[in-house]
Amino acid sequence: MKRQKVSVDRELCYGSAECVHRAPAVFEFADGFGVVRPGHEHTGDAPEILEAAEKCPSQAISITDAADAASAPDRP
Protein backbone atom coordinates (compact mmCIF):
# COMPACT_ATOMS: atom_id res chain seq x y z
CA MET A 1 0.00 0.00 0.00
CA LYS A 2 1.40 3.39 -0.99
CA ARG A 3 1.64 6.07 1.64
CA GLN A 4 -0.10 9.28 0.75
CA LYS A 5 1.16 12.70 1.85
CA VAL A 6 -1.30 15.48 2.58
CA SER A 7 -0.33 19.15 2.42
CA VAL A 8 -1.97 22.58 2.32
CA ASP A 9 -0.80 25.23 -0.14
CA ARG A 10 -0.85 28.50 1.82
CA GLU A 11 -0.86 30.49 -1.41
CA LEU A 12 -4.23 28.97 -2.32
CA CYS A 13 -5.77 28.66 1.17
CA TYR A 14 -8.00 31.56 2.16
CA GLY A 15 -8.83 30.33 5.64
CA SER A 16 -12.31 28.82 5.45
CA ALA A 17 -11.27 26.20 8.07
CA GLU A 18 -13.36 23.61 6.24
CA CYS A 19 -10.48 21.13 6.60
CA VAL A 20 -10.35 21.63 10.37
CA HIS A 21 -14.10 21.05 10.57
CA ARG A 22 -13.90 17.80 8.54
CA ALA A 23 -10.69 16.33 10.00
CA PRO A 24 -9.64 18.10 13.21
CA ALA A 25 -7.20 15.33 14.15
CA VAL A 26 -5.13 16.10 11.03
CA PHE A 27 -5.71 19.79 10.28
CA GLU A 28 -5.51 22.86 12.46
CA PHE A 29 -5.96 26.58 11.91
CA ALA A 30 -2.77 28.64 12.29
CA ASP A 31 -2.14 32.27 11.37
CA GLY A 32 -5.40 32.40 9.42
CA PHE A 33 -4.68 29.29 7.31
CA GLY A 34 -5.40 25.60 7.46
CA VAL A 35 -2.28 23.51 8.09
CA VAL A 36 -1.49 19.84 8.55
CA ARG A 37 -0.73 19.00 12.17
CA PRO A 38 2.89 17.89 12.68
CA GLY A 39 3.20 14.12 12.45
CA HIS A 40 0.05 13.73 10.32
CA GLU A 41 1.57 14.44 6.91
CA HIS A 42 1.28 10.81 5.78
CA THR A 43 -2.43 10.29 6.43
CA GLY A 44 -3.63 11.28 2.97
CA ASP A 45 -5.37 7.99 2.31
CA ALA A 46 -7.83 8.32 5.22
CA PRO A 47 -11.45 8.86 4.09
CA GLU A 48 -11.90 12.09 6.08
CA ILE A 49 -8.74 13.54 4.49
CA LEU A 50 -9.96 12.69 1.01
CA GLU A 51 -13.28 14.37 1.83
CA ALA A 52 -11.53 17.46 3.23
CA ALA A 53 -9.48 17.77 0.03
CA GLU A 54 -12.56 17.33 -2.15
CA LYS A 55 -14.63 19.87 -0.19
CA CYS A 56 -11.88 22.50 0.26
CA PRO A 57 -13.40 25.64 -1.30
CA SER A 58 -9.99 26.98 -2.38
CA GLN A 59 -8.68 23.56 -3.53
CA ALA A 60 -5.58 24.15 -1.37
CA ILE A 61 -5.25 20.56 -0.09
CA SER A 62 -3.01 18.21 -2.07
CA ILE A 63 -2.67 14.48 -1.67
CA THR A 64 0.36 12.92 -3.34
CA ASP A 65 2.30 9.67 -3.22
CA ALA A 66 4.84 9.93 -0.41
CA ALA A 67 7.65 8.95 -2.80
CA ASP A 68 6.68 11.78 -5.18
CA ALA A 69 6.35 14.24 -2.31
CA ALA A 70 9.85 13.40 -1.02
CA SER A 71 11.36 14.74 -4.23
CA ALA A 72 9.32 17.98 -4.21
CA PRO A 73 9.90 20.66 -1.55
CA ASP A 74 6.98 21.77 0.62
CA ARG A 75 5.72 25.27 0.10
CA PRO A 76 6.04 27.56 3.12
68 CB burial (10 A radius; 0-12, 13-18, 19+): exposed
**Global pTM value:** 0.80
Give me the residues paired with residue 4 across strands: 65
Specify the pLDDT at position 3: 79
Specify the pLDDT at position 44: 76
Specify the pLDDT at position 76: 47
CA geometry: angle 47, 5, 20, nearest 5 deg: 55
CA–CA dist 19, 56 (Å, integer): 7
Q: Which residue ranges of the chain lie beneath pLDDT 70? A: 1-2, 67-76
